[in-house]
Amino acid sequence: MNNGFIKVAAASPDLRVADVAYNKAQIIATVERAAADGVRVLCLPELAITGYTCGDLFGSRLLIDAAKKALVEIVQATADLPVFFAVGLPYLHNGKLYNVAAAVCGGRLLGLVPKTNIPSYGEFYERRNFTPWNAEQTKWTDDYVGNDRSVNIDTDQIFMCTDLPELKIGIEICEDAWVTIPPSSYLAQKGATVILNLSASDEVIGKADYRRQLISSQSAKIVGGYVYADAGLGESTTDLVFSGHNLIAENGTILAESKPFGSGYAVNEIDLQRIVAERARMTTFETQTSPDDTWETEFSLPLESTTLTRRIARRPFVPDDEATLRRRCESIVTMQAEGLARRVKQIGCKCVIGISGGLDSTLALLVTVRAFDLLGRDRREIITVTMPGFGTTSRTKSNAELLCESLGVTFRTIPIGNAVKQHLADIGHDGITTDVTYENSQARERTQILMDVANMENGIVVGTGDLSELALGWATYNGDHMSMYGVNASIPKTLVRHLVAYFAAIATDETQKRVLLDILDTPVSPELLPAKDGEIAQKTEDLVGPYDLHDFFLYYLLRFGFAPDKIYRLAKIAWGEVYDATTILKWLKIFLRRFFAQQFKRSCLPDGPKVGTVTLSPRGDWRMPSDASAALWLAEAEKIKE
């Protein structure tokens, strides 16, 4: 439960229709299994104590009384298990029979939640036996046998964990999720972060896919966790078949599921801090505070470390699935190109790009070509300039020239060596010491050339710097930091590589394909230090650290505002097989220092197209004081134990 994680499960016990004693034993065994697995929140199916398909047997007082007695015994038998669970049963109150979910924890019956929407179509005839809950009626309480207090009976209940304040549980039952506005929507607005759905959904062709989409969509709409427990094979009687298709979702993502006709047991961890952070940043997520209308019942769970089994993507900006990645790449490139095309059309200008033979400038050029093609403009109006300096290698220079030739753009070579030497002499630098002045003077000279060429050609300079470089401040102020439009400004380095690979995959020109593949194979470098034996001497990741890690840190810091200890924990899970704990912690601290120290560069960025949820534009996406202190974050990082 540390870092806001809570292990949840949905289970379909092996049940027998109308065999209450057998079902009781199976339910208790399932709760025991969940507790042994470290599960702290468990959802069981609708009417599990009796079975869902009892039909007119629900008219038997013998069955109803047996279910009530079995619930008392289940509560007592699980008193020592640290699990909050919900289980379904028929419940008779004031002469009416209700389909309810019983919320149980620590030997207490916390509340009964009745089903609101009772189906009366197709194979379902629940209204023949059960009464729909009327939300307008007065809330009821009942002195329940075996409980130390009266029990609330109502749909408008939230169960709150005193030990983990972010854990607030709401409950709805089966059909409630299928209606236009599910009860879970209101419960989420009133603070529920996790919804349990006790269901008995029969299986027909195509329904599993629809069910999966429904649960995923509802978890996204409520920006919360959703645990769905389906009736299992034991309910497959007469004309209906049930498959035990259980689902666990978080904000639109299916975290785990038991395949139809499979194990009937799904377990994973829901990130409550992530849910709370996402809701806080969404101004469209409405909250309702109405304590007079909502029962708020507290329960307790022991605080402990939650062993994580949920998948933590190594590269959160890059989809794992190849088909999804291909679609994502095309969508991103289209957004980049359309944004630039709008700027070019507005001004009626040419474009000037500094081309180095590296990944970033290659992507910027490919996007610019796409933009000019969209506008029906001559590619020759794209003026590319390679500016070899002290560290330029023949490999990158050759790749730049070959790429430009294959694309049919204008290509110029303007060496900067003599100009930089003169400038260094003018300011009193010896021209030999390879310090930051030596490096940055080359970057600024290149930017000056690009700006002046743009003036001469009625053009704008297209920036090439990416999101990762902006986060780390790996850009020379008023050098490559500056342009008239930065097409890569919201593209992290780990994604840049895949976008260039995408262009290589769709390239029809063999020379272009070969050059792009070689660029992908070239180490990332600013090439500001003299080459050694004709090879690149300055490799960026040797200096600032692995971009794989930095992009990981960037995503969780900006997207969810996670603290360093949580980011570190997630990074160890995702990257532990590649980097040891010491290395991960070292680069995390460096990332935090650089991110805070370099905000002044981001405060005056040029325009650039937003393509993802994590961007650093100072005009709305990331507003941070240039002199904000990193002390709080670094202090937390220093407390981390490897």
Catalytic residue of the set 43, 161, 174, 329 = 174
Distance CA 379, CA 370 (A): 9
The amino acid sitting at 607 is D
CA gap 459, 456 in Å, rounded: 8
Asked whether 80 and 49 are in contact (CB, 8 A), the reply is: no
**DSSP β-ladder status, 157-161 and 295-299:** parallel
CB 114, CB 153: distance < 8 Å = yes
Among 20, 44, 143, which residue's Cα sits nearest to residue 93? 143
Cα dihedral: 630, 633, 634, 638 (round 10): 170
CB atoms within 10 A of CB 316: 18
Which residue of the set 24, 68, 115, 397 is catalytic? 115
Q: Under DSSP, is residue 163 helix (H, G, I), strand (E, B) or coil?
A: coil
Q: How many CB atoms lie within 10 A of CB 186?
A: 20
Catalytic residue check, 123: no
Q: Is 278 a catalytic residue?
A: no
What are φ and ψ of residue 599, in 5° steps? -60, -30
Largest CA distance in the chain: 100
Distance in angstroms (rounded) separating the CA atoms of residues 209 and 69: 37
H or E stretch including 183? Answer: helix 183-189
Note whether 490 and 386 are within 8 A (CB): no
Find, among 615, 366, 315, 587, the residue nearest to 490 by Cα: 615
Give me the phi and psi of 637, to 5 degrees please.
-65, -35
Task: Point out the catalytic residue in the list 7, 24, 43, 46.
Answer: 46
DSSP 391: T
Report CA-CA distances (Å) from 602 to 481, 528, 625.
Answer: 9, 22, 10
| Residue 174 annotated among the catalytic residues of the structure | yes
Cβ atoms 46, 67 nearer than 8 A: no
Per-residue CA distances from 464 to 43, 483, 545, 629 (Å): 51, 8, 20, 29
- Cβ-Cβ contacts under 8 Å for 422 (sequence gap 6 or more): none
For the chain, the straight-line distance linking the first and the last C-alpha, in angstroms and rounded, comes to 19
What is the distance, to the nearest Å, from the Cα of residue 281 to the centroid of all Cα atoms in its chain? Answer: 14
> Which tokens go with 49?
């104590």
SS (H, E, C) 439-494: HHHHHHHHHHHHHHHHHHHCEEEEECCCHHHHHHCCCCCCCCCCCCEECCCCCCHH
Interatomic CA distance for residues 562 and 41, integer angstroms: 23
3-state SS assignment for residue 294: coil
Active site residues: 46, 115, 174
